[in-house]
Amino acid sequence: MKLDAIGDWRRTHYTIEVKPELDGQEVVLFGWVQEVRDLGGILFIILQDREGTVQITVPRKKVSSEVLSKAEVLEKRYSIGVRGIVKKTEMTPRGVEVIPEEIRIFSTAAPKLPIDITGKVPAKLETRLDARALDLCREENIAIFKIQHTAVEAIRDFLFERGFIEVHTPRIIASATEGGAALFSVDYFDRKAFLAQSPQLYKEQLVMSLEKVFEIGPFFRAEESHTRRHLSEFVSIDIEQAFATAEDVMRLLEQLVQYTCRVVSEKCRRELAILNYRLEIPEIPFRRLTYDKVLEDLKREGVEIPWGEDIPTPAFRTLGKIHPYFYFITDWPTRSKAFYIKPRDDNPELCEGFDLMWHWIELASGGTRIASKELLIKRLEEKGLNLESFKYHLQAF
């Protein structure tokens, strides 16, 4: 088959923009063939682009021979362009169709595809992942990506409005950011380096000049796990703010969550409907539960955690049933948190750290930073960390 060039064609509308109000107007559409139905005297082609689908109706006796010859060879996932006239109709769910005046075929596809992108024929996860590019054409996956895009845009807008500056910190580093051993090592020109697990130390130093910074980007943790909660590569949203306490950050964080939920709810109604998900906009302030209160709640449910220990996943699942909403866990034992979290002045066994939870899932953690070099060195030593590995960070104090 001879393929066509895009030539001087340019898209005039996405499929979702083709509405009955455009009746009689010419449009140029680009996309992929999702489905072809041949009813004898008429062909129906469902054209899909990133915004949705529209029906291309080809009445055999009314279109040109060139259009008909192109339409009759179309198969699923062919990449095509259509120039045609919008027609209002009561025969389609959206009340509109396009009668083609010209069809251009840009690329073809295998006659037998590994998965059905319409979702009518379900496929196992392994099959879907093996054909991930096709799987991403399913409207549910497109909806997820568009919601993610809207959420990230909202987060950036929220932080920009409050004076935060977006930064980009290194991904190839010389030593562990938080002292953990879960790092991917890389060969860096005959030297050993690591993939960053966090921007923590960089952003702490950045606020010494920029005061309020944030970063959205990928980070890496070499933690062997078979759960959905522990990914080796993930996208992290980090902020850092000078002249602020843990309470200031918690207020900012709950406002950010509420704002993002509101924007997604308003801008992604169609995508949320596709996923059959009802997004609730949380009320603020979120509840603050102390570490001791959490242990008491769990004990009443028959789950006992020794004081000072971290809370394991099964216990968090129980906690999520008790508190099925957004909440903070505060006043953690100092020894359970990272070396840079400030101990409380009135009780150094507890720290000014927090976790933001949604049901049983930890969404974020943070806290007041240690500003004293002597205290920072003490905490590094208490954690058994090598001071030499953090000498460049300590030089900033």
pLDDT score for 374: 96
Mean confidence (pLDDT) of the chain: 95
Superfamily of chain region 149-276 = Bira Bifunctional Protein; Domain 2 (3.30.930.10)
Of residues 67, 58, 132, 65, the one with CA closest to residue 99? 58
Which of the four pLDDT bands, split at 50, 70 and 90, describes residue 174?
Answer: confident
CATH number among 3.50.50.60, 3.40.50.2300, 2.40.50.140, 3.40.50.1450, domain 1-137 = 2.40.50.140
Which of the four pLDDT bands, split at 50, 70 and 90, describes residue 176?
Answer: low
Mean pLDDT of 366-386: 95
In the chain, where does the domain assigned CATH 2.40.50.140 lie? 1-137
Mean pLDDT of 53-80: 97
Identity of residue 6: I
Which of the four pLDDT bands, split at 50, 70 and 90, describes residue 356?
Answer: very high
Model confidence at 230: pLDDT above 80:
no
Mean pLDDT of 144-165: 98
In the chain, where does the domain assigned CATH 3.30.930.10 lie? 149-276, 287-396
For residues 211 and 235, the answer to whether their CB atoms sit within 8 Å is no
Model confidence at 148: pLDDT above 90:
yes
Superfamily of chain region 287-396 = Bira Bifunctional Protein; Domain 2 (3.30.930.10)
For residues 30 and 13, the answer to whether their CB atoms sit within 8 Å is no
Q: What is the pTM of this model?
A: 0.92
Round to whole Å and give the CA distance between 173 and 193: 6
pLDDT score for 224: 76
Q: How many CA atoms lie within 13 A of 162 on its CB side?
A: 20
Round to whole Å and give the CA distance between 271 and 141: 10
pLDDT score for 392: 87
Mean pLDDT of 61-90: 97
